[in-house]
Chains A and B, each alone.
Chain A
Amino acid sequence: MATNRKADVVVVGLGWAGSLMAEELTRAGLEVVAIDRGPWMDTSTHTPPAVDPDELRWGIRKELFSPPKDNTLTFRNTTGQTAVPQRDFGIFELGGGVGGAGFHWAGMSWRFDPYDFEIRSQTIERYGYARAEDGELQLQDWGVTYDEMEPFYDRFERIAGISGKAGNLEGEIQPGGNPFEGWRARDYPTPALKTLRSMEVFCEATARMGYHPFTIPVANLSQPYVNPLGVSMGACTYCGFCLGYGCGNYSKSSPQACVFPVLMRRPNFRVITESCVTGLNKAADGRTVTGVTYVDAQGKEHIQDAAIVCLTAFMVDCTRLMLTSGIGRPYDPDTQEGTVGRNFTFQTVSGTDMWIEGEQMNPFIGAGGLGSQIDDFNADNFDHSELDFLHGAGMLTLARDGAPISKAGKLPEGSPRWGTGFKQAYRDSYQTYTTIFNQGSSMPVKRGYLDLDPTYRDKFGQPLLRITYDYSQSDRNMAKYTMDRAVEIAREMGAQHITPFNFADRPFTTAVIASDHVIGGTPMGADPQTSAVNPFLQSWDCHNLFVCSASVFPMNSGYNPTATVGALAIRAAQAIHQDYVRNPGPLVEA
């Protein structure tokens, strides 16, 4: 086994979290080595505009994703069942190269709601103890408040150049924005994208119904932009090839587009590609880590020692590495003791497809995150006193669904599925189809968790991660409630054909991509009894280990997770170079 020269920091996984942390830490003068299991990938070389719009290659065959043969896990709904591996692409859309999933994401860039960060205390305050402690749910606060997060959300949005319209500037509600959003110190760095036809129909209908539609903030940039690191980005061309694709136009924010150009110039940064970290190395006293062990493309094992380890991989890998390395106490669903593996959640999705005769949606014009949304039924923006659930869903319509292969199944019920009849139906419905997608929150449950599978192992001989999870009754009720609201909106939009869907009216499965926003496993929090990392993402057990990915979310909101991961990464990295390096030790008293 070869041992590399010791670095100040080793970053495990060079996606959004890893690259943002590396940018902060190298700028502060620390020597950073990143290790990524995927190959080097860049927009201009791997997904230039001339090859990017290829739905078969990227959208259907998912060539940018890490394939299941390399990265999968096992799944069951309850502890009484035997988990088996997910053998095809499912809800886990891990990135195949550097940049991680940040290279192929769609680009919705949300801040979580202030309610999310204090979900336990605010639920108790407003609805009483019994609603938070119903025997099934396992609500817990994040240990950080929205107010504390605001500057870091702002920094992420500046680096990524997010396009949007503020709805709440320091408490003043702004017309055209989302009136329910948490306060913002300033507007988005670039204006919102154009409103396309399906969005117009949705906005007009929801406004008539008294709701508050707005354009979703996105990482598909409305105009050329230079970020605070000096990196130039281009304007989105509305080609619509974003989710599953790389952007050759430099208009979809990604680690490649926004961070790598400066990071790769720095002499105190380097990245080791095609090398998979297989273990975090604990020091003899068990209170720190000495670095990581990784296996290179030739199968050779190496040790990278470092004073600080930043675990910035996808949430499943962060949780699995903590478990396989014996850091922190594994969660026990019977006693609810232990923290690693705790609070796995998903999202609870419902909505409706619809077809509006005579419409010309022109769905071939679009962008990954482009759409309109109402938050009238999201978070705690509506009174839950008389309702049988907590939280809610962001209800949105999308303007990105023109891809011809994947859209071929979007036909009204009863349409022929082959032959001349199918072709005619597809011709008729291509322009008239639209959808309302309820991106529902997910409340953690005592019996939803991650641990190591006793049977199945990966190519390195490491046990696969095992998911045990099913939706809470609260989430199921929420999905039904928001689906009914979506159908009402579809009627108001003038749809003749309405086909509602609810992924939570059956057991949860990893095989059906209702959403790909999986979170939890190493939750953050102020209490070491219920959290694996403290509010600065520092391991309670090894103070020089920082974990930054969606694995630290103690619950999931009705929003996409990326901006929150980015903001947490910047916040943790600043805590490292401003405080931790001066006085290594716990940043927070347990």
Chain B
Amino acid sequence: MANFKAFAGGVAALVLIAAAGAGIWAWRTADTWRNAVADDAVALADIGAADPEAVARGEYIMRAADCAACHTREQGDFAGGYEIATPFGTLVSSNITPDRETGIGAMTERDFFDAVRHGQGQKGFLYPAMPYTAYARISDQDMHDLWAYMSTVAPVRNSVDENGGMAFPYSIRLAMLGWNMLFFDGSGFEPAPGNAQLARGQYMVDGPGHCSACHSPRNALGAEIGSAYLQGAVVDGWLAPEITSNRHQGLGDVSAADVAEYLGTATDGKAMASGPMAEAVEHSLQYLTEDDRLAMAAWLKSVPGSDVARPEQVDPASPEMHGAALQYEVSCSACHGTRGEGMGDLVPAFDGNHALLSENPASLVRVMLEGARAGHSGAKPTGAGMPSFAWKYDDAQIAGLLTYIRNAWSNAGMPVDPAQVADMRGALAARDKAASGF
């Protein structure tokens, strides 16, 4: 997730140059009339006792929107200080505790709505590293509740210079106006035709959940491509896979119950979250209700997918597959099983695991080279580890092993190119295969 922000923040800054010429009519996208429903009189720091039920609902929205992921670091809960590196400098997440001087204590509810839903903060325009593009869909009621929750957060004095690390001219917040003009839609949530469960799922996915921030591909200027909604994207060497109704590399052949289980615990006993998705489960998704997770699953499974289809299976009798099968037996089968069956909630299965079959194997390559830690949750706290094999196998061997697991048993997936392994090895500065070999 952080890596998306690095990307979006950087590109957004670049865009300012184009946008600067676009003129003042860009004001349309900056219109915050919707937020007039919010109170504009009382500052956050002055709110006394808030309605406990509203606070509880607000905490739920905070979890769903995963505010703490970026705004909580060593300085204390919601005190900001999380650094987001971009090619144009470093952004730092803001202090959103009710501290009057260094946090958002002086903000009114209206100011808060403007910032969260429209990217217009007390210091000027926000950078789209903050996913206000999605939060724009959050309902008035949820925003009121979130505000009530924020009033209960303990104020922390921590002064943050959010864009002091950005090089000129990217340090000019007004530039984001241009980006907003081109790409930002500040309108509220409009459900697609369908039942109430689908509408709820769509709201959670598109609004607080901001799933498309990672799972939708982006154009050259860093904006999501609407026609490829949730069809997968690479974010800093991780593939955020397609999560549509596509039956090969999406969720079409995974039951809604399994998707909900995965969202709530980091694994459905077959696929397993790691990397940025593990963080999303740990900090956010595990706190959602079963109904909401099922609704999200139902919506995702209803979204039209890409046209990527099951390819021809690589011939299991080919010499490459035979060699890789032996390596699989030696290095992988102890945990992942001789039949790719995995080990319950501890180790992902391979056979029939659609998360393995994406056209782009980036996450698989990354995990082989760098190892990984599985996501963990209150319900499934283990979070087992996958070791790195960078030192043990060369690029061709890793590509061969991945081609094998994508084409063994009932699987069929595109072969993995050793050049992609070589590129990733360079990008991650992963070890070369040890000289002595094994």
A43 surroundings in chain B (CB, below 8 A): 385
- Is A387 close to B, CB under 8 A? no
B77-90 vs A, CB cutoff 8 Å, 1 = contact: the mask equals 00000000000000
> In the bound complex, how far is the Cα of B344 from the Cα of A232, in angstroms?
8
> In the bound complex, how far is the Cα of B385 from the Cα of A49, in angstroms?
10
The 6 A-B pairs with the shortest beta carbon distances in the complex, nearest first, are: A44-B385, A48-B387, A232-B346, A50-B387, A237-B334, A232-B382
Query: A49, A231, A237: which contacts B381 (Cβ < 8 A)?
Result: A231
- Is A250 close to B, CB under 8 A? yes
- Is A51 close to B, CB under 8 A? yes
B334 adjacent to A49 (CB under 8 Å):
yes
B384 adjacent to A250 (CB under 8 Å):
yes
A-B contact pairs, 10 of them (CB 8 A): A44-B387, A48-B388, A49-B335, A50-B331, A226-B345, A233-B382, A249-B335, A250-B346, A261-B381, A261-B382
- Is A265 close to B, CB under 8 A? yes
- Is B379 close to A, CB under 8 A? yes
Segment at the interface with A among B126-134, B159-167, B370-378: B370-378
- Is A224 close to B, CB under 8 A? yes
- Is B347 close to A, CB under 8 A? yes
B378 adjacent to A265 (CB under 8 Å):
yes
B335-356 vs A, CB cutoff 8 Å, 1 = contact: the mask equals 1000000011111000000000
Task: Decide: A235 near B343, CB < 8 A? Known: A49-B334, A229-B381, A261-B381.
Answer: yes
Task: Decide: A45 near B347, CB < 8 A? Known: A239-B334, A265-B378.
Answer: no
Closest to A265 in B: B381
Query: B373, B381, B391: which contacts A230 (Cβ < 8 A)?
Result: B381
* Total number of B residues with any Cβ neighbor in A under 8 Å: 25
Q: Nearest-CB distance from A378 to chain B (Å)?
A: 34
> In the bound complex, how far is the Cα of B380 from the Cα of A42, in angstroms?
18
- Is B247 close to A, CB under 8 A? no
A224 surroundings in chain B (CB, below 8 A): 343-344, 346
> In the bound complex, how far is the Cα of B345 from the Cα of A262, in angstroms?
15
A48 adjacent to B371 (CB under 8 Å):
yes
B345 adjacent to A50 (CB under 8 Å):
no
- Is A85 close to B, CB under 8 A? no
Closest to A233 in B: B346
Closest to A239 in B: B334
Q: Nearest-CB distance from B368 to chain A (Å)?
A: 11
B387 adjacent to A51 (CB under 8 Å):
yes
- Is B189 close to A, CB under 8 A? no
Q: Nearest-CB distance from B297 to chain A (Å)?
A: 23
- Is A191 close to B, CB under 8 A? no
Q: Nearest-CB distance from A212 to chain B (Å)?
A: 34
- Is A234 close to B, CB under 8 A? yes
- Is A368 close to B, CB under 8 A? no
B residues with CB within 8 A of A:
331, 334-335, 343-347, 371, 373, 376, 378-389, 391-392
A210-233 vs B, CB cutoff 8 Å, 1 = contact: the mask equals 000000000000001010011111
> In the bound complex, how far is the Cα of B387 from the Cα of A43, in angstroms?
10
> In the bound complex, how far is the Cα of B381 from the Cα of A237, in angstroms?
23
> In the bound complex, how far is the Cα of B398 from the Cα of A50, in angstroms?
14
A230 adjacent to B379 (CB under 8 Å):
yes
**Central interface residue in B373, B380, B383, B384, by most chain A CB within 10 Å:** B384
- Is A248 close to B, CB under 8 A? yes
Closest to B334 in A: A237
B345 surroundings in chain A (CB, below 8 A): 226, 232
A229 surroundings in chain B (CB, below 8 A): 381
> In the bound complex, how far is the Cα of B346 from the Cα of A237, in angstroms?
15
> In the bound complex, how far is the Cα of B346 from the Cα of A234, in angstroms?
7
> In the bound complex, how far is the Cα of B382 from the Cα of A42, in angstroms?
12
A28-49 vs B, CB cutoff 8 Å, 1 = contact: the mask equals 0000000000000011110011
Interface contacts beyond A224-B343, A232-B382: sample of 17 additional A-B pairs, CB < 8 Å, sorted by A? A44-B384, A44-B387, A48-B371, A48-B385, A49-B334, A50-B387, A51-B387, A224-B344, A224-B346, A229-B381, A230-B380, A231-B381, A232-B346, A232-B384, A237-B334, A239-B334, A249-B335
B344 adjacent to A249 (CB under 8 Å):
no
> In the bound complex, how far is the Cα of B376 from the Cα of A42, in angstroms?
15
A262 surroundings in chain B (CB, below 8 A): 381
> In the bound complex, how far is the Cα of B383 from the Cα of A42, in angstroms?
11
A250 surroundings in chain B (CB, below 8 A): 346, 382, 384
> In the bound complex, how far is the Cα of B378 from the Cα of A262, in angstroms?
8
> In the bound complex, how far is the Cα of B385 from the Cα of A44, in angstroms?
5
> In the bound complex, how far is the Cα of B334 from the Cα of A234, in angstroms?
10
Q: Nearest-CB distance from A41 to chain B (Å)?
A: 12
Query: A48, A51, A234, A261: which contacts B347 (Cβ < 8 A)?
Result: A234
Closest to B382 in A: A232
Closest to A44 in B: B385
Q: Nearest-CB distance from B431 to chain A (Å)?
A: 12
